[in-house]
Structure 1
Amino acid sequence: MAWIGLDLGTQSVRALAADASGHVLAQASRPLTSHRSGVRHEQDPQQWLDAVDAVLAELDQPVADGIAICSTSGTFLLTDLDGHPVTPALMYDDARAAFRRVHIVDADPVRWATSMQPTWALPKILDLVADGYDLTKHRVVHSADFVAAHLVGHPVATDTSHALKTGYDLVAERWPAAFAGLGLPLQAFPDVVLPGTELGRTPAGTPVYAGMTDGCAAQIAAGALTPGAWNSVLGTTLVLKGVSEHLLDDPTGAVYSHRHPDGGWLPGGASSTGAGLLTELLPTSDLDALDHAAHPVNAVTYPLTKTGERFPFVAPQAERFTLGDTSDDLDVYVAVLQGVAFIERLAFEHLESLGAEPVRSVSLTGGATRSQYWNQLRADVLGVPVELPAVPDPAFGMAVLAAAEGELTAAALRMVRVQTVLEPRQHCLDELYGEFVAELDRRGYRG
């Protein structure tokens, strides 16, 4: 028995086949290219189909028991009524329509004043309508849905996870009535089902199941699917995902939630801080050497990769700063690492203030886990064990979802393995953390 997960990333398509115990049977990938022009970011959806066909052929799993697909959150295109693309894919970080956010908020201030972000899909859909696309003759299709339709041979429903940034109401479980005031016909939007719902079958008879966005897929791969367990993805930026039995209401808009396929919610947020700052501040340094020499320093950098913060607080005016002296590259390096760990701790404090279960463990994924020093530092600053999963791959998360049969948490318990556990040590950074938070408040970033 084998289940296949597909991950449609920005730079590649990855496929992974796993058995019922979570052992990886085969993997394959193909590169993707995209086009950036100013704030615009587009991709040719035909690339996805070509790459998916190639990786599935390389996996050589003709009798797979199921396939599920994840993709970047908020990436979509318009198709004609037969499912053929009529626009490029507008990517998750395309900001061409940021100015249209105000129109969406005006249509339903209670719902969207804090929850709608300017790079989400809905503002870009309004922009396409303004450019002349008639939605009575076109359909909104998310990237994972477009590939699923290719595999089964007909248009498919979307899932609640991919639908979130297109404006779907996860509480009422419907596309919102406010779409009418925005001039958006409901027939242009797909039916919505829970992740794990069968969408159709390939010509070979393999079921294709509704997937989730890449952040949720990484959370599944980390096994963080019960209250108190969290997944922290640290790459260019920092993303946290966890579980709560009830919907967390964040009046600041920093936290948003997906639906848990087993019931309940998957709250989290995406910061504008992360490891991406290291390549900017230390472009010629040997980061591995710095990591081996690293030790705590009395300095911290607020590690914004760009102006403006979105989680654990919303502050469009936020700018990078450093407290303390950074006299050499090693100080600069450690000050950034400590800053990310502090933002991570502040994020968990914010989530708990909203009613989330106290943090009992954190699974670490993302490129930054290559730094052993950083992994231990994060355990020390958070004061809880951190876990490194054996297969921290969104494609693996989708293989787990495909195998779930309606019981995702149970499937993850069978298939997800922890490779390393790092226990927190007594640490001396609490005073510096307090100074850091006080400086954020002094600058007015936390409201």
Structure 2
Amino acid sequence: MALAWLGIDLGTQGVRTLLVTAGGRVLGSGSVPLARGRREGVRHEQDPAEWWEAVCAASRGALAGNRVPVGGLAVCGTSGTVLLTDGAGRPAGPALMYDDGRAAAEAGRLRSAGLAVQDTWALPKACWLVAAHGPGRIAHQPDVITARLVGRRVPSDSSHALKTAYDLRRGAWPDTTGLPGGVLPDVVPPGTRLGEVCPAAADATGIPAGTPVLAGMTDGCAAQIASGALREGAWNSVLGTTLVLKGAAAEPVHDPAGVVYNHLAPGGTWLPGGASGVGAGVLTARFPGADPARMDARAAAFEPSNAVAYPLVSPGERFPFRAPRATALLLGDPVSDADLWAALLQGVAFTERLCLDYLHHLGAPVRGPLALTGGAARSAYWTQLRADVLGRPARVPAQPEPALGMAALAAYGTGAAPTLAEAAGAMVRTGTTVDPRPDRTSRFAEPYARLVDELEARGWLPSPVAAHARERLGRG
């Protein structure tokens, strides 16, 4: 009997669900916005109860009228988002989101103890939560949803546990987390069966009771699966609220600075990459209510813009350099809103190029196929601009969504495909390939070099990395 798999994506701005067949046909979808989040300075929280409400509504939307049996489901969430729960896995307070910056002091102490963590990673925030609110059980974002689905507390997946300093090679928590015993969750590999949808969750979500629930991966990894970039040397750039780059490699990419981290996919493939604080979120912040298509059309007159931007969504940068005190910058004076919009689009593309230059600096193979996913991939203009700035072809899959990646992982976890790469290969459908326009690539060399110089001058970008970026630009 033909089956379909359900992927659930807990995004920053909403929950998205897709019901997909093994051959990649989308049978249904659901999307529900998240509106109760709180952002103030370095604080960024969301209400876990809203996640569950959105999952229920989005799942019912994806399953409405469906007559194909659901073979299983998996859930992805934002990497580094953590919260405290009680013994049953129920939230004990708000969740600290992936870019919440209140745990900088805890991160410094952990680095002094020998752990390579960044200020916004999950482990420092877990320490902050325990110190501020007392003992509890640390959970990652999807753990709350999978616990509600199966009706009991469940282990975390190793992908979400990575930024809580879980040691993927040893398969264990380090001894220097600074947390009391019993606070951190049990951990299992992605694709592990966690249980089945319980009757109460079936009533709430419309997902049939008994549907297998599989351990998921982070949203960045989910998007990478959805892009099909799982073979060695392939890369996926996910541009949503922020920017995430992930590739596939036979061995981890070693980074003494701790900027690049390595996920481990089922089957032993390593997925190196990093998450930047730059992204499309800056557009909604600077231009609330704007029509993106109209602004894109106007921005095309400014190539390059009269200004050079490093468009951080919130203070602090994690990739392609670690600078907790970095802030958004704008060099020059845009002559209009359209010129500023152009500067922000180009600034994100410059950051994307610098991320790839940094990966190349570390010895990672970066010249394999490049796929673009995330919400920004829906903008044909921005996609062409990114290909122009990068000077390389870019492929946009037909359904570039993390929820599709989770559907593929669920298919793999239930035994429908022997490897995750084969499950994804069967589901991912080819979209379009965008070739760079050579004359445009050369136009952006000067503003890119100017941005690299400024980041180095501010002490954010290490000089060896800046020199490598200029060398790749032909200005060494």
1:89 and 1:280 map into 2 onto residues whose CA distance is 22
Asked if the contact 1:218–1:394 (Cα under 8 Å) also holds between the matched residues in 2, the reply is: yes
Asked if the contact 2:305–2:342 (Cα under 8 Å) also holds between the matched residues in 1, the reply is: no
AA aligned opposite 2:54 = A
2:287 and 2:57 map into 1 onto residues whose CA distance is 38
1:434 and 1:42 map into 2 onto residues whose CA distance is 36
Report the more deviating stretch, 297-306 or 211-220: 297-306
Q: 1:86 to 1:213 in 2, by over 3 A?
A: same
Q: Which of 362, 367, 372 is 1:364 aligned to?
A: 372
Structure 1 residue 53: Cα displacement = 3.4
Report the more deviating stretch, 232-241 or 40-49: 40-49
Is 2:134 the counterpart of 1:133?
Answer: yes
Which residue in the other structure is 2:453 paired with?
A: 438
2:337 and 2:50 map into 1 onto residues whose CA distance is 41
User: How many positions carry a matched residue from both structures?
Assistant: 436
2:375 and 2:224 map into 1 onto residues whose CA distance is 15
Which residue in the other structure is 1:195 paired with?
A: 190
Which residue in the other structure is 1:304 paired with?
A: 311
What SS does the aligned partner of 1:377 have? Answer: helix
Structure 1 residue 331: Cα displacement = 3.3
Which residue in the other structure is 1:119 paired with?
A: 120
Q: 1:300 to 1:361 in 2, by over 3 A?
A: farther
Which residue in the other structure is 1:416 paired with?
A: 428
Asked if the contact 2:306–2:335 (Cα under 8 Å) also holds between the matched residues in 1, the reply is: no
Report the more deviating stretch, 220-229 or 307-316: 307-316
Q: 1:104 to 1:316 in 2, by over 3 A?
A: closer
Structure 1 residue 144: Cα displacement = 1.2
Asked if the contact 1:7–1:13 (Cα under 8 Å) also holds between the matched residues in 2, the reply is: yes
Which residue in the other structure is 2:229 paired with?
A: 224
Which residue in the other structure is 1:375 paired with?
A: 383
Asked if the contact 1:77–1:142 (Cα under 8 Å) also holds between the matched residues in 2, the reply is: yes
2:93 and 2:286 map into 1 onto residues whose CA distance is 38
Asked if the contact 1:301–1:320 (Cα under 8 Å) also holds between the matched residues in 2, the reply is: no
What SS does the aligned partner of 1:178 have? Answer: coil
Q: Which of 69, 75, 87 is 1:69 aligned to?
A: 75
Which residue in the other structure is 1:234 paired with?
A: 239
Task: Tell me the TM-score normalized by structure 1.
Answer: 0.89
Q: 1:30 to 1:338 in 2, by over 3 A?
A: closer
What SS does the aligned partner of 2:168 have? Answer: coil
Report the more deviating stretch, 246-255 or 275-284: 275-284
Q: Aligned runs of 1:169-318 on 2, under 5 Å?
A: 169-179=167-177, 182-185=178-181, 187-203=182-198, 204-279=209-284, 287-293=292-298, 294-295=300-301, 296-297=303-304, 299-305=306-312, 306-318=314-326
Which residue in the other structure is 2:52 paired with?
A: 49
Is 2:405 the counterpart of 1:390?
Answer: no
Which residue in the other structure is 1:161 paired with?
A: 159
What SS does the aligned partner of 2:139 have? Answer: strand
Q: Which of 139, 147, 152 is 1:149 aligned to?
A: 147
1:407 and 1:322 map into 2 onto residues whose CA distance is 46
Structure 1 residue 5: Cα displacement = 0.7
1:424 and 1:35 map into 2 onto residues whose CA distance is 38
Gaps (5+ residues) in structure 1? none
Q: 1:284 to 1:57 in 2, by over 3 A?
A: closer
What SS does the aligned partner of 2:431 have? Answer: strand
Q: 1:288 to 1:298 in 2, by over 3 A?
A: closer
Asked if the contact 2:90–2:144 (Cα under 8 Å) also holds between the matched residues in 1, the reply is: no
Which residue in the other structure is 1:425 paired with?
A: 437
Asked if the contact 1:300–1:436 (Cα under 8 Å) also holds between the matched residues in 2, the reply is: no
Structure 1 residue 63: Cα displacement = 2.8
Structure 1 residue 85: Cα displacement = 3.2
| Cα deviation code 1:188-246 (max 9, x no counterpart) | 32221111111112243221110011111111111121222221122332221111211
Q: Which of 24, 27, 30 is 2:29 aligned to?
A: 27
Q: 1:281 to 1:55 in 2, by over 3 A?
A: closer
Q: Which of 394, 401, 404 is 2:409 aligned to?
A: 401
Asked if the contact 1:298–1:324 (Cα under 8 Å) also holds between the matched residues in 2, the reply is: no
Structure 1 residue 319: Cα displacement = 4.4
AA aligned opposite 1:199 = L
Q: 1:360 to 1:210 in 2, by over 3 A?
A: same
Asked if the contact 1:363–1:388 (Cα under 8 Å) also holds between the matched residues in 2, the reply is: yes
Structure 1 residue 324: Cα displacement = 5.8
What SS does the aligned partner of 2:170 have? Answer: coil
1:374 and 1:396 map into 2 onto residues whose CA distance is 23
Q: 1:215 to 1:227 in 2, by over 3 A?
A: same
Asked if the contact 1:76–1:90 (Cα under 8 Å) also holds between the matched residues in 2, the reply is: yes
Gaps (5+ residues) in structure 2? 199-208, 463-476
Report the more deviating stretch, 14-23 or 231-240: 231-240
Which residue in the other structure is 2:465 paired with?
A: none
Q: 1:289 to 1:128 in 2, by over 3 A?
A: closer
Which residue in the other structure is 2:102 paired with?
A: 96
What SS does the aligned partner of 1:387 have? Answer: strand
Q: 1:346 to 1:152 in 2, by over 3 A?
A: same
Identity of aligned residues (%): 52
| Cα deviation code 1:235-289 (max 9, x no counterpart) | 3322211112111111222212211223131111122223333455556876533
Asked if the contact 2:119–2:324 (Cα under 8 Å) also holds between the matched residues in 1, the reply is: no
Is 2:335 the counterpart of 1:327?
Answer: yes
Structure 1 residue 150: Cα displacement = 2.0
1:288 and 1:379 map into 2 onto residues whose CA distance is 18
Structure 1 residue 33: Cα displacement = 3.7
What SS does the aligned partner of 2:250 have? Answer: coil
Task: Tell me the TM-score normalized by structure 2.
Answer: 0.84
2:183 and 2:336 map into 1 onto residues whose CA distance is 56
2:273 and 2:234 map into 1 onto residues whose CA distance is 12
Report the more deviating stretch, 5-14 or 406-415: 5-14
